[in-house]
Amino acid sequence: MITGAGKGIGKAIALDFAKMSGKQAEFDPVLILVSRTLADLESVAAECRSFGAATDLFQADIADKAQTDRLVNSTLERYGTIDCLVNNAGVGRFKPLAELTEEDFDSTMSVNLKGTFFLTQRVFAIMEEKRSGHIFFITSIASETAFKSSSLYCMSKFGQKGLVEAMRLYAKTCNVRITNVMPGAVYTPMWGEVPDAMKSLMMMPEDVSLPLVNAYFMPQRTSVEELVLRPVGGDLKE
Ligand SMILES: NC(=O)c1ccc[n+]([C@@H]2O[C@H](COP(=O)([O-])OP(=O)(O)OC[C@H]3O[C@@H](n4cnc5c(N)ncnc54)[C@H](OP(=O)(O)O)[C@@H]3O)[C@@H](O)[C@H]2O)c1
């Protein structure tokens, strides 16, 4: 199950898993793609299926707990379990401190914190019971480094990192792997229009998806706990 699979990093993760379908031993998954925009999901699902991967899609707003509950319940009814969750859906409002509004606050926290928490809570319970599973969190370099125009975003990403660390305490007792993926700047729709000079300083979505998929295929005895990925020239300023 990949949240935010309609665009950007989530789309690249879906495509890279799809490419491995049937090629890696005992890997013949159903990919569950989740986001709010149906047209994006249909387009990514078609691409995944073109690589031979069984793919289903689910239009849901993860900020709404009733919708994440429906997402998990429907997945269990259709497929019986969830083996891997990629908590990728996230939003950012990048503005100077004084310009941030209550709506910016609520929107950022409801997706990045509330949505990530309640989906993880439901899916982890399934993995805990069967004593296997892998949960990825796409947090950010901004989960440990502050950027001036990202105060709310940093607050939410530092918070996600807190959840990752708490989840590890539960996961290690029941054979569940937790991977915190911390990318620096990646060229995706999240950034809107980007000048070419800036784009040349950024990573591309597949630079994140490839190491993530490789971490999934590590032997079950090994948990890749963190992936820190930066543009070779370092972080973009502020
Ligand atoms: N791009 C970067 O530089 C960068 C760096 C570090 C970390 N990250 C993190 O990586 C993740 C993906 O970022 P991205 O750059 O790929 O963003 P993106 O291009 O804006 O794509 C975000 C995806 O998440 C979905 N989404 C957003 N809110 C959602 C919600 N409430 N419920 C369900 N789906 C939702 C979006 O679809 P809909 O809007 O249609 O729902 C979209 O498919 C985020 O958590 C972000 O914080 C990004």
**Max Cα–Cα distance, the chain, nearest Å:** 53
How many Cβ atoms sit within 10 Å of the Cβ of residue 24?
A: 14
Q: What is the pLDDT of residue 128?
A: 98
CA of 124 to the centre of ligand 1 (A): 21
How confident is residue 25, by pLDDT bands cut at 50, 70 and 90? confident
For the cut 90, the answer to whether the pLDDT of residue 237 exceeds it is: no
Phi and psi of 15, rounded to 5°? Answer: -65, -40
How confident is residue 86, by pLDDT bands cut at 50, 70 and 90? very high
Segment 89-116 shows an average pLDDT of 98
DSSP 170-190: HHTTTTEEEEEEEE--B-SGG
For the cut 70, the answer to whether the pLDDT of residue 142 exceeds it is: yes
Segment 15-28 shows an average pLDDT of 93
Ligand 1 pocket check for 231: Cβ under 6 Å: no
Tell me if 32 is assigned to some domain.
yes
**Given strand 54-59, what is the order of strands in its sheet?**
54-59, 30-35, 2-3, 84-87, 133-138, 176-183, 226-229
How confident is residue 158, by pLDDT bands cut at 50, 70 and 90? very high
CB 228 within 8 A of CB 182: yes
* pTM: predicted TM-score of the whole model, two decimal places: 0.98
Mean pLDDT (the chain, rounded): 97
* Three-class SS state of 136: strand
CA–chain centroid gap for 99, Å, is 28
Tell me if 235 is assigned to some domain.
no
Which residue carries 């994140």 as its tokens?
Answer: 208
The residues pairing with 182 across neighbouring beta strands, listed in sequence order, are: 228
Say how many CA atoms lie within 13 Å of 138 toward its Cβ.
28
CA of 115 to the centre of ligand 1 (A): 12
Q: What is the pLDDT of residue 188?
A: 98
Domain that holds residue 47: 2-229
| Number of domains the chain contains | 1
Tell me if 234 is assigned to some domain.
no
As a whole-number percent, the residues of the chain with pLDDT over 90 amount to 97
Assigned token pair, 160: 């996600």
Tell me if 217 is assigned to some domain.
yes
Tell me if 68 is assigned to some domain.
yes
Q: What is the pLDDT of residues 159-191, one digit of tens each?
A: 999 999 999 999 999 999 999 999 999 999 999
For the cut 90, the answer to whether the pLDDT of residue 78 exceeds it is: yes
Tell me if 236 is assigned to some domain.
no
CA of 110 to the centre of ligand 1 (A): 13
If one residue of 35, 94, 150 were mutated to test the ligand 1 pocket, choosing by the most ligand atoms within 8 A of its CB, it would be: 35
Tell me if 142 is assigned to some domain.
yes
Amino acid at 3: T
Ligand 1 pocket check for 4: Cβ under 6 Å: yes
Ligand 1 pocket check for 35: Cβ under 6 Å: yes
Q: What is the pLDDT of residue 238?
A: 63
Residue 18's CATH number: 3.40.50.720
Ligand 1 pocket check for 61: Cβ under 6 Å: yes
- Residue 111 DSSP label: I
Segment 8-25 shows an average pLDDT of 95
